[in-house]
Structure 1
Amino acid sequence: MRKILIVIDMQKDFVDGALGTKEAVAIVPNVVEKIKRYDIKDVFATRDTHQPNYMETQEGKNLPVVHCVEGTEGWEINKAVAAVLDGATIFDKPTFGSAALCDAILKLSKEEELEIEMVGLCTDICVVSNALMLKAFMPEVKISVDSSCCAGVTVEKHEAALETMRSCQINVI
Structure 2
Amino acid sequence: MNVLIVVDMQNDFVSGALGTPEAREIVPRVVDRVEEGIRRGEKILFTRDTHETDYLNTQEGKKLPVPHCIRGTEGWEIVEPLQKYAEHPIDKPTFGSQYLGALLKARDEDLRRQGEPGVEQVTLVGLCTDICVISNALLVKAFLPEAEVVVDAACCAGVTPESHRAALAAMGPCQITVENET
Structure 2 unpaired stretches of 5+: 112-117
Task: Report which of the two structures shows the higher radius of gyration computed on alpha carbons.
Answer: 2
Percentage of pairs with the same residue: 52
- How big is the alpha-carbon RMSD for the aligned residues of Structure 1 and Structure 2? 1.2
Stretches (4+) displaced over 4 A:
none
2:91 equivalent to 1:92: yes
Q: Which residue of 120, 123, 128 corresponds with 2:126? A: 120
> What does residue 9 of structure 2 align with?
10
Q: Which residue of 1 aligns with 2:75?
A: 74
**Once the two structures are superposed, what CA deviation does each residue of 1:104-140 show, in whole Å capped at 9, x if it has no partner?**
1111121332211110000000000000011112111
Instruction: Report the TM-score, using the length of structure 2 for normalisation.
Output: 0.90
Shift, 1:27, TM fit: 0.2
Extract unaligned runs of 5+ from structure 1.
none
Change (3 A) 1:142 1:67: same
Which residue is equivalent to 1:170? 176
Q: Over residues 45-97 of structure 1, what are the superposed CA-to-partner deviations in whole Å (9 max), with x where a residue is unaligned?
A: 100000000000000000010000000000000001113x144x420000000
Structure 2 contact 46–86 (Cα < 8 Å) conserved: no
Q: How high is the TM-score relative to the length of structure 1?
A: 0.95
Residue identity opposite 2:92 in structure 1: K
Q: Any idea what SS the aligned residue of 1:45 has?
A: strand
State the distance in 1 between where 2:70 and 2:86 align.
21
Worse-matched range after superposition: 92-101 or 39-48: 39-48
**In 2, Cα distance between the equivalents of 1:155 and 1:74?**
22
Comparing 155-164 with 108-117, greater Cα deviation is found at: 108-117
Partner SS for 1:149: strand
Partner secondary structure for residue 46 of structure 2: strand
